[in-house]
Amino acid sequence: MKLEGGCYCGAVRYVAEGEPMMKAQCHCRECQYISGGSPNMFAVMPVAGFSYTKGAPKTFTRGDIEQPVTREFCTECGTHLATLRPGLPAVILKVGTLDDPGLFGTPQLAIFTVDKQPFHHIPEGMPSFERMPQR
């Protein structure tokens, strides 16, 4: 599939082609800052099919934790677009930045439920994991 999207102001645009490697919701404390408090909905897309087509994001990587992820966001409007995880040849796309978030369908699993808040919703029957699922 081909996913297109960008930030809130339109300064940064991307295209992601390929099949999603994972579609999930993340309940971790870090994602709560970026999502507004709810679980973060994301699609993991192969890095080979991903590129920025307009503008370029600023990146942020925490220096105080081991194996930090890199988060990419628009310098103009602050929209967080994507996350890169060390060693993972993929782009973790935030579903809210898709031109048509409906293309996401539904998440397949919930991760980092260790940080789940009482107001977070996990659909009944959805596989959920305290941290990352074992490979």
Residues that bind Zn ion (CB under 5 A): 7, 9, 11, 26, 28, 31, 74, 76-77
Find the shortest distance in angstroms from Cβ 48 to Zn ion: 24
Find the shortest distance in angstroms from Cβ 9 to Zn ion: 3
b vs e for 78-97, b when ≥16 Cβ sit within 10 Å of the residue's Cβ?
Answer: ebbbbbbeeeeebbbbbbbb
Find the shortest distance in angstroms from Cβ 3 to Zn ion: 18
Query: Of 20, 3, 5, nearest to 106 (Cα)?
Result: 20
Q: Which residue, 51 or 58, is less far from Zn ion as judged by CB?
A: 58
Both tokens assigned to 30: 């870090």
Find the shortest distance in angstroms from Cβ 32 to Zn ion: 8
Q: Which residue, 3 or 12, is less far from Zn ion as judged by CB?
A: 12
- Alpha carbon distance 65, 58 (integer Å): 20
Q: Which residue, 1 or 10, is less far from Zn ion as judged by CB?
A: 10
Q: Which residue, 17 or 30, is less far from Zn ion as judged by CB?
A: 30
Contacts (Cβ under 8 Å, ≥6 apart) of 80:
34, 71, 72, 73, 94, 97
